[in-house]
Structure 1
Amino acid sequence: MKSKLAGGMSVVSVPWKDTTEEKRMIEKEIGRLVSQGLSADRILILSPNRREKNCLGEAGRLKEWPLVDFTSGERGVKFATIRSFKGLEADVVFLIDVRDNTPVCSPADIYVGASRARYLLYVFHQEG
């Protein structure tokens, strides 16, 4: 992708073949950002699906970082569905589980999810 967020960095497009690879790539990118000094608390993972129905499953952690609901007030990488986070913003957004031609992944849903990022947006999408 060649898009750029206003005042931010270029959008990072991350293709994946299967959900195992997608989860591994999410963990790798979180690790890279944290190693560069970004607090994991500033990262939000957005999915069109609830946690139990996406590549993260019921995981309570992504490697050493807690994965917490964005409403919990707990420290860690935040998680929300696209629709539950509508109207809110986060510094860094990982938009995951993006697939073509699925009812929960409409162009409007992708727009809403992508527009939640203040500074940095990653889009993890199925190769196709």
Structure 2
Amino acid sequence: MSDEKVIHIFKPSDDLPPCPMEVKSSSPVFHCNHRSLQIDTHERTVRCDACCAMLDPFDYIARNGQSLQMAWRDYRIVRDRIKALNESVERLAREEKRLKASIRRTKQKIPDRLDVRGEP
């Protein structure tokens, strides 16, 4: 056999060298939604009860104002969709009632027993 056709299989070593790096976080990952607030009317400050962060009152009101506007917009969209669905259900109920009456009228026109075999 020639050397060109020889396949060499390399087995990895069982010993793994230690990792040369270690990443340490300087502060834990924490995101506060500021659900509970302390409002100091004398100093005119807003502080979060959970994370004790001082919040800018204008920024807080602006952010919550945008959230409130989006909630009202979503509410209007859902209310309009419900109204359209209710109208559709009413329209379908009227159509069902009309079709049932049509079936009832048609059944009254057909004799009780219909002979399809042609027997006397």
Fold match, TM over 0.5? no
Considering fraction of residues, name the structure with more strand: 1
Considering fraction of residues, name the structure with more helix: 2
Larger radius of gyration: 2
Work out which structure has the larger RCO, using CA pairs closer than 8 Å and 6 or more positions apart in sequence. Answer: 1
